[in-house]
Amino acid sequence: MPVRIICGHRVWCQRYGETMCPEALFAFYMVPNNNGSGVAGELTICGTDPAHYKGKIAWIPLIAEVYWTISLGSVYVRGTTITNGTQNGIVDTGTSFIAGPTDAIKKLQNVFSLAGATNGTEGMYQIECNNISKLPAVIFTLGGQDFVLQGSDYVLQNNQTCQLGFTAFDLPSWMGTPFW
């Protein structure tokens, strides 16, 4: 997940103004299903590491610099519209979960239950790990582009039970539009 730097932060601007750092961006690489390898990810400063992605990078414009806020168009799964219209999303590298409004997460969980997922602890849905392939693709529309997550992309594996990486999180109404 590469990020372009907007020079409002003095420390970053000083670093990116130097010839040692020709690209004013940094990128995070998250290792999927670490499996005890000891490497959980990587931060690349002054560019990206092409070994960690294929094709072109999709740049999504920020609608606010606070929390890397982006516009989320829609969320679909198996032809079902989970959310439609513009909501805000926050790009967060500090959590393993995709958080969304409770009503949207409940719609997702209803679809996941058709694939054999069940309500586990603290409202988090789970599925037997050998049934991950039965989970549907979840499609997020960001910046007019569709991003498809397969079941293996949004499941956290833990022995024989796998937890679905979606969680409900409602922000106070004073913050405005619901966030993902």
Instruction: Transcribe 46-70 into DSSP letters.
Output: SS--GGG--S------EEETGGGEE
Nearest Cα residue to 57 out of 17, 99, 28, 80? 28
Asked if 134 contacts 150 with a C-beta cutoff of 8 angstroms, the reply is: no
Confidence at residue 79, expressed as pLDDT on a 0 to 100 scale: 86
Confidence at residue 126, expressed as pLDDT on a 0 to 100 scale: 92
Q: Is 156 helix (H, G, I), strand (E, B) or coil?
A: strand
Confidence at residue 172, expressed as pLDDT on a 0 to 100 scale: 62
Q: pTM for this one?
A: 0.79
Per DSSP bridges, beta strands 125-128 and 145-149 are unpaired
Nearest Cα residue to 93 out of 68, 119, 56? 68
Q: What CATH superfamily classification does 58-180 receive?
A: Acid Proteases (2.40.70.10)
Tens of pLDDT along the chain (180 residues)? 555 555 555 555 555 555 677 777 888 888 766 556 667 788 888 889 999 889 999 888 888 877 788 888 899 999 889 988 778 888 888 778 888 888 899 999 999 999 999 998 777 899 999 999 999 999 999 888 899 999 999 998 876 679 999 988 876 654 555 556
Dihedral (CA of 76, 150, 98, 41) sign:
negative
Confidence at residue 75, expressed as pLDDT on a 0 to 100 scale: 93
The full set of domain ranges for the chain reads 1-55, 58-180
